[in-house]
A = this chain, B = another copy of it.
Amino acid sequence: MATSPGESLSAYCERIASEAARSSQLLRSVTGSQKNGWLIASAHALRSATEAIISANEQDVQRAPDFGLTPGQIDRLQLNRSRIEDIASSLEQLAAWPDPIGEVIDGTVRPSGLRLQRIRVPLGVVFFIYESRPNVTADAAGICIKSGNAVILRGGKEAFFSSDCIVKLLQKTAESHDIPPQAIQLVETADRDAVGHLLALNQWIDVAIPRGGESLIRRVAHEATMPVIKHFTGNCHVYVDAAADLGMAERITVNSKCQRLGVCNAAESLLVHAKVADSFLPNIYRALSAQGIEIRGDEATRTRIPNCQTASESDYFTEYLGPIISVKIVESVQDAIDHINHYGSHHTDTIVTDSVEAAELFLAEVDSAAVMLNASTRFHDGGEFGLGAEIGISTDKFHARGPCGLRELTSYKYIVRGTGQTR
């Protein structure tokens, strides 16, 4: 399915997008048991092909320094037996989930006797643009097919050989389960213009989902002619209220910030009520320092902890994705809410408090995808929420907000059954 000789880039993009659209129509008559059979057979196929996948991955790893990948990035790129096992078992777990398609969301009988049902249906064709980790290739294909959608995968060029090998295995298994192999396609050219061509094809592609750096997401949102589900930054906050249990506040702050630094639901900013600043700040300073975290604070913070850098206006807007946290002392829960709604990214924010009044105000007024009480921000995740695998966490309010899994890749239609009714 690679570019045919003499085929222009735009012709190639139109071909794969129209094939995906045709496949998405054929997916309408594929049953849940065919989809689950494909997921399980794909898991087996990946395990059996472990050697071939590792050797394709080695090609990527060898080229990695040429692409300027850091050792950390190369580590995330690398596949071994246990990582391939993880990829395979993710597909098997997906098979165990109920089929979202055909679910009756709600239904009524009208006074006229018309029986109405709202039924879950696929979106159609998903164009997924993502970073270089090759496990995402299999996950995304699995989630899209399970939710009845065809998918066009545009992975990072750094993982091309790994992703290509995985996609070919998934396509081959699809064929033997009467699922159109063109329902799973990898963009087989490194040409960056391919993304632009595909984003113009809204007659065939129903939604674009970019996952990666902010500039990629902005580019896709700007160029796309179809709806986009965006996964912007997670500038997440922990707010320690005047009525907080300070031991709990320390555990939640440390867990939110340190459990994993480079993820979107890690805390990047700590707000502390002035009434508990004297007792809380020295303790949290020791605890975070012990984990190698640097604190940048406002004036009131700097007077309370040693060697604290000044937090600038831009620090409060920053998703560090690393060992830094910004700190600010606030005068009230309302101040905390206003700060979060202004500087935050509407991703995940948590309050630590024992006050019902403060808790309810915070939960109601913070305008984020997930707002938490006495819990670590790190719980904002499709798996932790019990929603199954996710293709990302949406910071949009439109269509999908928060974990974006099987349900969020669907639409619905109204089915109306009558006995001859007219108006």
B-contacting residues of A (Cβ < 8 Å)?
25, 28-29, 108, 110, 112, 114, 116, 121, 123-124, 206-207, 227, 245, 248, 251-252, 254-256, 259, 341, 363-365, 367-376, 378-380, 384-386, 396-399, 401-402, 411-423
Contacts and interface: CB of A to CB of B under 8 A. Distances in A.
A376 B422 contact: yes
Contacts of A206: 397-398
B248 A416 contact: no
A376 B112 CA distance: 12
A245 B418 CA distance: 13
A57 to B, nearest CB: 29
Nearest to A247: B420
Contacts of A254: 422
Contact of A414 (B25, B252, B371, B376): B371
Contacts of A116: 385-386
B417 A259 contact: no
B402 A255 contact: no
A407 to B, nearest CB: 10
B365 A423 contact: no
A110 to B, nearest CB: 6
A417 B255 CA distance: 16
29 contacts: A25-B367, A29-B364, A29-B365, A112-B379, A116-B385, A123-B397, A124-B397, A206-B398, A227-B399, A259-B422, A259-B423, A363-B415, A363-B417, A369-B414, A370-B413, A370-B414, A370-B415, A371-B413, A371-B416, A374-B420, A374-B421, A375-B418, A376-B423, A379-B418, A379-B421, A398-B398, A401-B411, A401-B412, A402-B413
Nearest to A363: B415
Which of A227, A386, A411, A421 counts the most chain B CB atoms within 10 A?
A421
Contacts of A376: 421-423
Contact of A385 (B364, B402, B414, B421): B414
Nearest to A226: B398
Contacts of A386: 108, 110, 116
Nearest to A116: B385
A357 to B, nearest CB: 14
The main secondary structure of chain A at its interface with chain B is: mixed
A116 B403 CA distance: 13
A422 B372 CA distance: 12
B252 A398 contact: no
A396 B227 CA distance: 10
A123 B396 CA distance: 10
Given A206-B398, A364-B28, A252 B416 contact: no
A221 to B, nearest CB: 8
Contact of A251 (B399, B402, B420): B420
A206 B382 CA distance: 25
A385 B412 CA distance: 15
Contact of A365 (B28, B364, B372, B373): B28
Given A28-B365, A259-B423, A365-B29, A374 B418 contact: yes
Contacts of A121: 367, 397
A241 to B, nearest CB: 14
Contacts of A380: 414, 416
Given A376-B422, A422-B251, A385 B417 contact: no
A219 to B, nearest CB: 13
Contacts of A248: 420
A345 B371 CA distance: 39
Given A25-B341, A254-B422, A385-B414, 5 more contacts: A28-B364, A29-B365, A206-B398, A367-B413, A369-B414
Which of A29, A227, A379 counts the most chain B CB atoms within 10 A?
A379
Contacts of A399: 227, 398-399
Contacts of A417: 363, 372-375
